[in-house]
Structure 1
C-alpha cells in the first residue's frame, strides 16, 4: 500500500529537512574538528564514542539532500534508483547507531562516577574502539533489511520507472520487514533506552549526593541527561512505536512517515550532548565557535552571543571535570 500524503506534506518534509541540514551540518562539522584537535592532545575513551556519534550524524546529513530533492519533487523519486535504498540505508543506520552510541556514552559516564578507581585502572581507548566497531556492525546489519526487502520486489514492479522511494511494500515484503522492525524496536531502541535511563539515573544520583562535586559539573551532568532523553523520547520513540503498531496491524501505519521526521532532528540535538559531555570538549568547542564567528564577522547582532560564549569558556577554565 502506497503512503497517501496530505496536500501540504511535501512542504512540511522540505522545511524539516532544510532546517535540520542548515542547523546540523555546521554544528557537527565543528564538533568533528574539535574532536580531531582533542585526539592530537590525548586519546580519551569518551571522545572516541563522541567522534563515532558525530560521524553517524554527518552520514545522515550527507544523504539528506536526496530527501530534500524528493520533498521538492512532491515526494516523488526522479533520481537514479540506486540512491533510493542507499539513502534510506544511511538514514536508518544513522538513527539506530546514534541510539547505541548514546547508550555507550551513558555506560561510560556511569562507570566513571560509580567505580572511579576501577574505571581509571581499566580505562583503555581500545575498549571504546572495539565497542564502536561492534555498534557499527550491529546497526548496519539490521538496517541492511532495506536492501533485503528491495531484493524481494515483485516482478511486476519496474525499478527503472519508480516514482516513490521505499514507500510501498507487497505482502511478501511485509512478512520479512515487519518482524525485523519489531526486533529493531526491542534491540536497537528499548534496550539502549533502558540501559541509558538506568545509568543516568544512578549517575545523577551519585553526583548530587557528593557535596565536593562542583556545581558546574552537576549542571553539565543534568544537561547531558536531559539532552539524551530528549533524543530518545522525542526523536526516536514515536518512530519506533510505529514498528510495534505496524507488526500488530500487519502493515505500515500511515503516520509512520511523519514521525520519522522527528528522528531527523537527532543530528541537531547530538551536538548539545557533546557540549555537556566533557569540560575539555566544551572549552575547545567554544574556542572554535568564537574563531568561526570572528572570521565570519556578521555584525553587531553576534555581539551578545559572543560575550556569552566567552563567559562560558572562562567558566569552563575554572571548573575541573572530565
Structure 2
C-alpha cells in the first residue's frame, strides 16, 4: 500500500508492506527537495570555504603564536573546511534523486569526512569548554594544563579519534543498485544488529557524552563569570570578552546539531518499531541534516562578529601584509632608481 502525502515542497511516499504490516517513508523523486536542498548545500559550501579559509589565514599567518583557545578554534575551522569541501558531492547526490554518479571510493570518503567532522567538531568544543572551565574556575591549581603543547596534543588526539569514528563509513559504505527505482545508492552494508549498534554508539559518543561535559563546564563558567563581574577588575573583563565568543560558538553548535541528534534518536526508535513511519519524522530528518551543515558557516561569522581577539588579529594581519607590500614597493623603487642612476653613470663614463 502506497500513500503519497504532499507537505509543502516535500512529496513523501508512505509505504506499508501488507505481508508484514511494516511501514517506512521515502521521498518521492518528483519532490522539490531535490531542487531546493542541492542549491542550499552549494551556497553553504561556497560560503563555508571562503569564511573558514579566512579564519585559518588569520590564525595561522599572524606573526604571533596562537593561544590555547585559538588553537582549538583553528582546528574547529579546519574540520568545518573539510566538511564544506566535500558537501558538493552530496549536493549532486541529492539533485540526482539519491543516485550516486561517482566512484565507490568517493562513496566511502564523503560520508567518512562528514562523520569525522561531526565527531571532531563537538570534541573540539569539549576541549574549548574544558579550557574555559580551567581558566575561570581553577585558574591556579590547573593552570599548567593550559599550554599550547597540551592544546596541540589534545587536537591531535581528537583528530585521531575522529578518524577511528569514520572507519565504519570507509569499511561498510558501498554502492547498491536498486532495480525498483533504477538508481545506485551510496549506503552502508550493515546487518540489523550492526546498524542498531552503530546508531546507538553515535548518539552516545557524539551527543550524550560531549553535551554532558559541555553543559557542566558551561554552567560552572557562567557561575564563575557572575562572581568575577562583581569585582569589576580589568582581568575579569578580559576573561569575559574571551569567554563570550566561546559561549556563542557553543550555543550555535547546540542549536545546529541538537536537532540532528534528536532525529538520529527518533530514527533508532523507528528502526526498532517503537515509533511508526510518520511524515514529520522524515521532514525533521531532512531539515536537521541541513541545519547541522549550516554550523560550518555560522562559526566563522561568529568569530568575526563576537571575537574581539579575532578582530584584533585580523586587523594586525592586514596591517602586517600592508607593511610588507609597502616595504616591497619601496625596495623595488630604490632598486629601479639605482639601476637608472648606474645606467646614466655608465653613459657619462663612455662619452
| TM-score, shorter chain, exceeding 0.5 | yes
The corresponding residue for 1:227 is 249
The corresponding residue for 1:178 is 196
Compare the two structures and name the one with the higher helix fraction: 1
Gaps (5+ residues) in structure 2?
A: 1-23, 322-351
TM-score under structure 2 length normalisation:
0.70
Shift of 1:230: 2.3
The corresponding residue for 1:195 is 213
Q: Which digits, 9 at most, give the CA deviation of each residue in 1:46-100, with x for residues without a partner? A: 2221221111111101111212322333432212232112111111211121011
Cα distance in 2, alignment partners of residues 44 and 260 from structure 1: 32
Provide the aligned length of Structure 1 versus Structure 2.
283
- Per the alignment, do residues 59 and 77 of structure 1 end up closer, same or farther by CA in structure 2, a change over 3 Å counting? same
Shift of 1:28: 0.5
The corresponding residue for 1:263 is 292
- Per the alignment, do residues 195 and 289 of structure 1 end up closer, same or farther by CA in structure 2, a change over 3 Å counting? farther
The corresponding residue for 2:224 is 206
- Per the alignment, do residues 128 and 223 of structure 1 end up closer, same or farther by CA in structure 2, a change over 3 Å counting? closer
The corresponding residue for 2:153 is 130
Whether 1:14 and 2:38 are equivalent positions in the alignment is: yes
- Per the alignment, do residues 67 and 157 of structure 1 end up closer, same or farther by CA in structure 2, a change over 3 Å counting? closer
* Residue in structure 2 matching 1:57, options 80, 85, 92: 80
Aligned residues of 1:227 and 1:272 also touching (Cα < 8 A):
no
Cα distance in 1, alignment partners of residues 319 and 35 from structure 2: 34
Gaps (5+ residues) in structure 1?
A: 293-322
Whether 1:76 and 2:99 are equivalent positions in the alignment is: yes
- Per the alignment, do residues 239 and 95 of structure 1 end up closer, same or farther by CA in structure 2, a change over 3 Å counting? same
Shift of 1:19: 2.4
Cα distance in 2, alignment partners of residues 148 and 249 from structure 1: 25
Aligned residues of 1:50 and 1:274 also touching (Cα < 8 A):
no
The corresponding residue for 1:145 is 168
Cα distance in 2, alignment partners of residues 291 and 265 from structure 1: 32
The corresponding residue for 2:184 is 163
**SS of equivalent to 2:299:** helix
Bigger relative CO (Cα 8 Å, ≥ 6 apart): 1
* Residue in structure 1 matching 2:266, options 230, 239, 245: 245
Q: Which digits, 9 at most, give the CA deviation of each residue in 1:140-196, with x for residues without a partner? A: 212222133336x88x879xx962223xx67x5342122212111111211111211
**SS of equivalent to 1:163:** strand
Cα distance in 2, alignment partners of residues 198 and 61 from structure 1: 30
Cα distance in 1, alignment partners of residues 64 and 237 from structure 2: 27
Aligned residues of 1:149 and 1:173 also touching (Cα < 8 A):
no
- Per the alignment, do residues 179 and 289 of structure 1 end up closer, same or farther by CA in structure 2, a change over 3 Å counting? farther
Cα distance in 1, alignment partners of residues 25 and 185 from structure 2: 8
Cα distance in 2, alignment partners of residues 52 and 267 from structure 1: 12
Aligned residues of 1:145 and 1:177 also touching (Cα < 8 A):
no
For the aligned residues, what is the CA RMSD?
3.1
Aligned residues of 1:220 and 1:277 also touching (Cα < 8 A):
no
The corresponding residue for 1:97 is 120
**SS of equivalent to 1:116:** coil
Shift of 1:105: 0.5
Shift of 1:287: 5.2
Cα distance in 1, alignment partners of residues 287 and 193 from structure 2: 23
Compare the two structures and name the one with the higher strand fraction: 2
Q: Which digits, 9 at most, give the CA deviation of each residue in 1:231-273, with x for residues without a partner? A: 12x2211221232222222269644344211111111122245
**SS of equivalent to 2:191:** helix
Aligned residues of 1:30 and 1:289 also touching (Cα < 8 A):
no
The corresponding residue for 2:312 is 283
**SS of equivalent to 1:165:** strand
TM-score under structure 1 length normalisation:
0.76
